[in-house]
Amino acid sequence: MELSSTHFLVVDDDAFLRQATGNMLKAMNVASIREAGDGAQALALVQDDRAQPVHVILCDLNMPGMDGMEFIRHLGETQSTAYVIVMSAHDENLIASVKKMAIAYGVKLLGAVQKPVSSQQIVDLVEKFIPPAPHVVKKASTSPPLAFTLEEILHGIDEGQFEPFYQPKICFKSGNIKGMEALARWIHPTHGVISPYAFIQTLESSGNIDGLTFLILKKAAQACKRMHDEGHFISVSVNLSLNSLGDPLLAEKLTLAVREMELDPKYIVLEITESAAMTEVAQSLENLARLRMRGFGLSIDDYGTGFSNIQQMTRIAFSELKIDQSFVKNCTENKELCVVIRSSIEMSHNLNIECTAEGVETKDDWNTLKNLTCDTAQGYFIARPMNLSAFSDYCHSYTPLFFL
Part in contact with Ca ion (CB under 5 A); list of ranges 122-130, 139-147, 189-197, 301-309? 301-309
Part in contact with ligand C2E (CB under 6 A); list of ranges 36-44, 113-121, 125-133, 212-220? 212-220
Beta strands 320-323; 297-303: pairing state:
parallel
Residue 81, SS3 per DSSP:
coil
What is the footprint of ligand C2E within residues 274-293 (CB under 6 A)?
none
Q: How far is the CB of 205 from ligand C2E (least distance, A)?
A: 12
Mutual angle of helices 150-158 and 209-229, in 10-degree steps: 30
Q: What length is written for the chain?
A: 404
Q: Is 356 in the site for ligand C2E (CB under 6 A)?
A: no
Query: Out of 380, 393, 396, 404, which residue is the one contacting ligand C2E (CB under 6 A)?
Result: 380
By CB under 6 A, how many residues form the interface with ligand C2E? 24
In whole angstroms, give the CA distance from residue 375 to residue 345: 9
Q: Is 271 in the site for Ca ion (CB under 5 A)?
A: yes
Q: Is 183 in the site for ligand C2E (CB under 6 A)?
A: yes
In whole angstroms, give the CA distance from residue 127 to residue 2: 6
Q: Is 326 in the site for ligand C2E (CB under 6 A)?
A: no
Binding characters for ligand C2E, 143-172, by CB under 6 A (x = yes): ------------------------x-----
Q: Is 357 in the site for ligand C2E (CB under 6 A)?
A: no
DSSP 64: S
Secondary element (H or E) of residue 183: strand 177-188
Residue 200 touches which of Ca ion, ligand C2E, none (Cβ within 5-8 Å per kind): ligand C2E
Q: What angle do CA 285, 290, 293 make, to 5 degrees?
A: 130
Q: How far is the CB of 322 from ligand C2E (least distance, A)?
A: 7
Residue 379 touches which of ligand C2E, Ca ion, none (Cβ within 5-8 Å per kind): ligand C2E
What is the amino acid identity at position 94? L
Residue with the CB atom nearest Ca ion in the bound state: 271
DSSP 145: P
Query: Out of 62, 121, 208, 241, which residue is the one contacting ligand C2E (CB under 6 A)?
Result: 241
- Is there a contact between 214 and 256 (Cβ–Cβ < 8 Å)? no
In whole angstroms, give the CA distance from residue 70 to residue 65: 10
Beta strands 177-188; 162-171: pairing state:
antiparallel
Query: Out of 21, 80, 235, 239, which residue is the one contacting ligand C2E (CB under 6 A)?
Result: 239
Q: Is 184 in the site for ligand C2E (CB under 6 A)?
A: yes
Q: Is 274 in the site for Ca ion (CB under 5 A)?
A: no
Q: Which of 287, 286, 348 is nearest to 319 (CA)?
A: 348
Tell me the CA distances in angstroms from 121 to 80, 111, 129, 213, one per residue in order: 23, 10, 12, 50
Using CB under 6 A as the criterion, which residues of the chain lie in contact with ligand C2E when the complex forms?
167, 183-184, 195-196, 200, 209, 212-213, 216, 239, 241, 271, 301-302, 325, 358-361, 378-380, 385
Using CB under 5 A as the criterion, which residues of the chain lie in contact with Ca ion when the complex forms?
239, 271, 301-302, 358
